[in-house]
Amino acid sequence: MFINEKLKDKLKDICGFNVKFDEPLKEYTTFKIGGPADILVIPNSIKELKEVLITIQDIDIPFFILGKGSNVIVGDRGFRGIVINTEKLNHIKVEGKEIISETGILLADVSDKALEVGLTGLEFASGIPGSLGGAIYMNAGAYGGMIEDVITEVRCLSYQGEELTLSKEELKLSYRHSILQDEPLIAVEARISLDYGNKKEIKAKIDDLTDKRWTKQPMEMPSAGSIFKRPENYYASALIDEAGLKGTRVGEAEVSKKHAGFIVNLGNASAEDVKNLIKLVQDEIYQKNGVKLEVEPRFIGEFIK
């Protein structure tokens, strides 16, 4: 890996003060867990992101694209390389029944914009804590709705900084999957197609889903959302609940007492605590039911073991 003062200066020339060194990543994740990144870069625009990618393409250095950090578990030793945070890519506009938005924006903010202009179809996304880009990456969904229901095309950058646009079909969206997981591509802007609706009805639906989330899920606690994907013919949370694992702890990581599908940070959990608790749950469920639970969040960076 090749990090020197010349590279640091180049990145600062592109992004100014939005380049940080040895930056703790726990402040950039909803789990509030994770060691430092060697370099954290926060581009102000798609143009700056493109320049960053071009700058590092010929250097043997790992990099990772981080949105709102809602579906990642960062190792306690952090990330050796460059983390590119897209939080400032948040420009959004409305054209008739379509919303065109950069992908660093909070998905819930896109849902709020839809409500503001009386467009329906994105209510399910109102409480999802991730970025639009992260939602596209994993085809996020909740309460019967998924990104694939509303997305029509996505503008991307290759890891070399080249631009291309993918249609919905080219995104190859399926349960918690998109082509972005298989190809060196970064979603930077998306076109979302919705329908005209009644603002009062849209707001009522959002309020109802918000109430359900806060009643049934540990929204007040740091977490990475649902920790396991839904296994075929089962619900992970039901299996965990039936196994009596609610409240099970490793260190300060706990299987939520409110919703068994969540692991929460009680205040000072380490990534190692979370990793070990995940394995404990997986082993127990496999032993009792013969079901292999697959982790939904991505493991990023260096772990102690």
For residue range 90-133, list pLDDT tens digits in order. Answer: 999 999 999 999 999 999 999 999 999 999 999 999 988 899 99
Residue 1: is its pLDDT beyond 70?
A: no
pLDDT attached to residue 243? 97
Do 270 and 251 have their domain in common? yes
Q: Residues of the chain with pLDDT > 70: what percent? A: 99
Local confidence band at 77 (pLDDT 50, 70, 90 cut-offs):
very high
| Residue 138's CATH number | 3.30.465.10
User: pLDDT (tens digit, 9 = 90+) per residue, 248-257?
Assistant: 999 999 999 9
Same domain, 116 and 75: no
Contacts for 204 with CB less than 8 Å, ≥ 6 apart: none
pLDDT at 97: 98
Tell me if 280 is assigned to some domain.
yes
Amino acid letter for position 45: S
In this structure, the answer to whether residues 182 and 98 fall within a common structural domain is: yes
Calculate the alpha carbon distances from 296 to 71, 78, 139 in Å: 7, 20, 12
Taking residue 195's Cβ as centre, other Cβ atoms within 10 Å add up to 11
Q: What letter represents residue 28's amino acid?
A: Y
The helix/strand/coil state of 70 is coil
The reply to whether 101 and 172 lie within a common domain is yes
Instruction: Specify the amino acid at residue 275.
Output: K
Res 2: pLDDT: 61
Query: Which of 56-60, 121-125, 160-164, 213-217 shows the lowest per-residue confidence on average (mean pLDDT)?
Result: 56-60
Q: How confident is the model at residue 4 (pLDDT cuts 50, 70, 90)?
A: confident
CA distances from 110 to 103, 113, 125, 176, 193 (A): 10, 5, 8, 20, 12
208 in any annotated domain: no
Q: Report residue 143's pLDDT band, with 50, 70 and 90 as the boundaries.
A: confident
The answer to whether the Cα torsion of 287, 293, 297, 303 is positive or negative is positive
- Tell me if 194 is assigned to some domain: yes
- Give how far Cα 234 sits from Cα of 205, 231, 248, 289, Å: 27, 5, 21, 10
Pull the structure tokens for residue 151: 């997305």
The reply to whether 108 and 188 lie within a common domain is: yes
For residue 18, the tally of other CB atoms under 10 A from its CB is: 17
For residue 3, pLDDT over 80 is answered with no
CATH number of the domain that residue 270 is part of: 3.90.78.10
- Do 78 and 150 sit in the same domain of this protein? no
Q: What CATH number is given to the structural domain containing 77? A: 3.30.43.10
151 lies in which domain range?
A: 92-201
Of the residues 70, 111, 226, 237, which is catalytic? 226
206, part of any domain = no
Residue 167 is among the residues annotated as catalytic for this protein: no
Query: Of these residues, 176, 189, 237, 272, which one is catalytic?
Result: 176
Domain count, the chain: 3
Same domain (yes/no): 142, 179? yes
| pLDDT band at residue 60 using 50, 70 and 90 as cut-offs | confident
Give yes or no: 176 in active site. Answer: yes
Q: Is 296 a catalytic residue?
A: yes
| Spatial CA neighbour of 105 closest among 82, 128, 75, 80 | 128
> What mean pLDDT do residues 225-247 have?
95
Question: How far apart, in whole angstroms, are the C-alpha atoms of residue 24 and residue 32?
Answer: 10
What per-residue confidence (pLDDT) applies to 52? 97
Given 230, 284, 296, 298, which residue is catalytic? 296
pLDDT at 36: 98
Q: Would you say residue 209 lies in a domain?
A: no
Structural tokens at position 162 = 């080249």
Domain edge (last residue) among 68, 85, 102: 85
Contacts (Cβ under 8 Å, ≥6 apart) of 84? 41, 42, 43, 49, 52, 63, 64, 65, 66
Is residue 142 domain-shared with residue 173, that is, in the same domain? yes
Largest CA distance in the chain: 56
The answer to whether residue 46 is domain-embedded is yes
Q: Is 52 a domain residue?
A: yes
Last residue within a domain, chosen from 142, 175, 201: 201
Q: Do the domain assignments include residue 211?
A: no
Same domain, 101 and 164: yes
The rounded distance, in Å, linking the Cα atoms of 26 and 84 is: 15
The predicted-structure confidence for 269-294, as pLDDT tens digits, reads as follows 999 999 999 999 999 999 999 999 99
192-228 pLDDT per residue, tens: 999 999 999 999 999 999 999 999 999 999 999 999 9
Domain end, chosen from 171, 201, 231, is at 201
Distance CA(78)–CA(59), nearest Å, equals: 20
Tokens describing residue 126: 């109102």
Provide the pLDDT for residue 76. Answer: 98
* Pair 97, 175 in one domain: yes
Whether residues 149 and 48 share a domain: the answer is no
194 and 106 belong to one structural domain: yes
